[in-house]
Structure 1
Amino acid sequence: MHRRKRESDSTCSHPDVLSTAIGKRDAETNAHNYRVAYDAARVGEALGLSSPQLQALLAGSFLHDVGKIGIPDAIQHKPTPLSEAEFCVVCNNVALGIEITRRSSWLAAAREMIEFHHEKFDGSGYLRGLRGEATPLAARAVAVFGGIARQLDGEVCAAGERGVERIVHRLIDSACPAGADKGDRFIVAPTGRHAV
């Protein structure tokens, strides 16, 4: 009994420890991760995911950008467009995230979302250029949640509810075209802060 509690405490603390590291390194990324995890939890619960599925979705959505702690500030926060070389450095955040979480068996399901959340349905993403459903569904979902959080944090805050709906549909369509019409039931956004 005590052994199981210690194992549970130690595995559940992994995201908390990584969150602290992310927060110390980059408060903006840390806040983004909390928003993505919040949206993932709401959708996961609405879909009736099992406890292990929900736990994996939360860990993966929260840690999807953990590799950014290894990207230099001058590149990560550059206010002008990145050069091709700088973009390659940013793309390395995926490999860094995989490396950071590699030794934790509890984070194995999260690694899938870390590794594949920059893939695009049309094959234009990175790290591997996967097409269509070759990208795991959970990683596609994290890409949508992350895109929504970024959009709502940035230029579209004043777009209003219809603007948010268009953004949500565009993001869902880019991750899973067949699911675009299913996004309506998750557009709640009464405060304009969260669309999912």
Structure 2
Amino acid sequence: MCAAREGRCGRRQRALLCCMLVAAWEAAWGQLRYSVPEELPKGSFVGDVAEDLAQELAALGGRGARVVSQGRTQYFALHASSGHLMTAERIDREQLCRLQEKCVLRCELIVEGEMKVFAIEVEITDINDNAPSFGEDEMELKMNEMTAIGMRYALRRARDPDVGANSLQSYTLSGDEHFSLSVQAGADGEKRPELVLAKALDREEAAFHELLLRA
């Protein structure tokens, strides 16, 4: 029975020690934030961790400092001699944060020599690396020559994976005076092109009209 009690006591001591270690790591928790554009080459500078943590750490070298990203892919690494946070992979914002206005990657700086952990957030800003595109190159509409002037027809919308000022800005229509373009803004802010009949049609004069819509 004594041995059994000693075993239980040993387990409690180990559990207490584990809790104390977790508390020590959590007490040193900090936060760093950086921002870089997408598509930077591997090895590009993100932030000066050594300088930003000068008050908390005397030096990173020789203290077992390393950066660990959330998930399988390690997007960032710590340059041992300079203490700079660098990109470890080329980052494609559209692939990681498709349709999200803000793209933030999170990782942790672990300094084992001082039992300190610092959370790092890196915002990946968008660059204009994608062009608007339509799902199909051609669209066919059939109209009666008696169609009233002002009649509207919804056109296929273009898609642009970029965001903000880098996303789709406008549409233009060229090719025929019989038609004009109207662009409506949806509740979600998306631009919706419409073809408007601006001049009466005459099949005997022209059996078809070819227009070009640009996004």
The interval holding the TM-score normalised by the smaller chain is: under 0.3
TM-score by length of 1: 0.21
> Under a length normalisation based on structure 2, what TM-score does the superposition of the two structures give?
0.19
The structure number with the bigger radius of gyration is: 2
More helix by share: 1
